[in-house]
Chains A and B, each alone.
Chain A
């Protein structure tokens, strides 16, 4: 095993896949000698050259459209868009083209594209650089959507995304410096499989991305109250590992769904619907399902206000504790 940061884990996945296949190509803004907005691609142009690292003008819509067209011709492009917020600009090629190319060509064309972009707040970058826009895309058949948390998951899932024949949106949180142990040898993680990050018996905290760490911290604090919390990282939003969710909730009888995006219309609603729509899991519920998500507000710049927006350890702990104290 070796200790590695999220940033290095992504870079290792890129490095290994680019070395394996010359048609794996990075496309995006400032990802050459500058190393990308978050320094994820540093050093790759020196190793792979401009044949596999293609720097582009500031043209998000065309960059992603170009990647879709190149993928149709056999490239395995990995597009980096600096901030997830700019996905609005890339939404036409992703939603109207990448997601539909295989269908509209009756299987003759496919788009093995990976769309990498960081989402989420905490950087003091205000309202247009901090959103979590995953639910804009989760309602689109034809797309796969991955949102990992740990270095281990980021690396294994990114490598699988690159090899996937369908378009994969790969959303990253911005805790690029968080470190963890990963195996020395090569490994892949199957897209569509969640992971229990912490075993527990009394409540299932279901989440993904950055809030996995928030949930783990909350679970640690809940131990003091003798509440055993299970933390389930879904890792992939589409396809969603519903079996794992239902299994966990059927065991614990309590569920809290956590994500950074605002509550209303957020992906947590899909997870809640999955739970209450299943006879066994619904029957096992001892208390109503809760959501702890972002507040209904654009991200403010002021640090105190910004920190109040996403789910905090305290909000999760309070919500869980309340599930045990309130009468059903």
Chain B
């Protein structure tokens, strides 16, 4: 591989990936100790995709995420505080506590939020790109979707539309091998989802989704292609969901051996080893970095647990319609 991060880029990526990992680990422990309610879908193991995509974009570029949206949201710039607050259902959360784990949104950082209907964010992203193009904007929109969503008609319809209308969409397939329990090899008709780009005359490629440098480079190239040609692009990232589908998943559909094999390709460990080799970092620095992030996370959560703040039902009504008189239709 030709492309490598410089020291600052590598440190930024490592910090981001660790932050996402420790954020999600904290969420997992809060759910298992019944402090948080509802459900959550973790993406532990997929941090290289999150840290490789948004940092390679321009600040003005938009993303539309999925039900597995924590990493994307933090990588696009959301604060840990606002993200945790949303999980607690608090009024200072990203969606004021109205969305929860599956609906993290952060308009200030050009994160238009997620569709928790698998694949349904893709047409929304395509439409956002249509209006950006009409406005002669140089921004693009990233439509995240998984291998499961790749079977949705709306995803195929959107790729066809983006192609015939030449829209600045980066279709970003985060292939983590499983749609809930369904293994992609049993559910997806092609070995590589990126091959489907041909069907829609969309340029495409596939990269190792556990290698943050490769993801970053591929996204940079794709973004350059989209901006210079005005055409969409399909990028498949191959990764693996270490965690189960949701908090209640016992992972009966796959073997522990398979998991161990993938754990050897832990994206954080892969980057760390490279940074050690390049003497960007030593073991002590790494340990310290993890401790600092953990400390920040623990402090945020400890403060939050003791200070619940919630919207009133009247305040929640004010978000149903734009005009107040229609609030309680």
Contact = CB atoms under 8 A, between A and B. Distances in A.
Interface of A: 25, 51, 54, 56-57, 59, 61-75, 77, 92-93, 96-97, 101-110, 141-142, 144, 164-166, 192, 238-239
B322 A73 contact: no
Contact of A61 (B128, B129, B154): B154
Contacts of B321: 102, 142, 144, 166
B329 A238 contact: yes
Contacts of B316: 103
B164 interface: yes
Contacts of A74: 131, 135
Nearest to B326: A239
Interface string B118-158: 00101111111111101100000000000000000110011
Contacts of A71: 127
Given A74-B131, A166-B321, A93 B123 contact: yes
Contact of B322 (A51, A66, A102, A104): A102
B117 A109 contact: no
A106 B153 CA distance: 29
Nearest to A64: B123
B127 A107 contact: no
A73 B131 contact: yes
A32 to B, nearest CB: 14
A106 B98 contact: yes
B105 A57 contact: no
B96 interface: yes
B52 interface: no
Nearest to B107: A108
A91 B163 CA distance: 24
Contacts of B323: 165-166
Nearest first, the 8 A-B pairs at minimum CB distance are A65-B123, A69-B127, A62-B157, A66-B127, A59-B157, A69-B124, A73-B131, A106-B96
B320 interface: yes
Given A61-B123, A61-B157, 19 more contacts: A57-B164, A62-B157, A65-B158, A66-B123, A66-B130, A67-B127, A69-B64, A70-B127, A70-B128, A72-B128, A73-B128, A92-B120, A93-B123, A97-B124, A104-B98, A104-B103, A105-B113, A106-B319, A239-B329
A231 to B, nearest CB: 25
B123 A96 contact: no
Interface in B220-258: none
Nearest to A61: B154
Nearest to B132: A73
A211 to B, nearest CB: 23
Interface of B: 64, 95-96, 98-99, 103, 105, 107, 112-113, 115, 117, 120, 122-132, 134-135, 153-154, 157-158, 160-161, 164-165, 316, 318-323, 326, 329
A134 B243 CA distance: 43
A70 B107 contact: no
Contacts of A54: 130, 165
A103 B317 CA distance: 9
Nearest to B102: A104
A105 B127 CA distance: 18
Most buried by B among A72, A77, A238: A72
Nearest to A66: B127
B310 to A, nearest CB: 13
Contacts of B95: 104-106
Contacts of B64: 69
Given A61-B154, A66-B127, A97-B120, A72 B320 contact: no
B111 to A, nearest CB: 10
A297 B163 CA distance: 42
B161 A57 contact: yes
Given A70-B127, A105-B95, A107-B319, A59 B160 contact: yes
A92 B149 CA distance: 15
A70 B153 CA distance: 20
A72 B321 CA distance: 15
A62 B161 contact: yes
A173 B128 CA distance: 31
Given A75-B131, A102-B319, A142-B320, A69 B123 contact: yes
A259 to B, nearest CB: 19
Nearest to B155: A62
A92 B319 contact: no
20 contacts: A51-B134, A54-B165, A66-B130, A69-B127, A70-B128, A70-B131, A72-B112, A72-B124, A73-B127, A73-B135, A74-B131, A96-B120, A102-B320, A108-B105, A109-B105, A141-B320, A142-B321, A144-B326, A165-B322, A165-B323
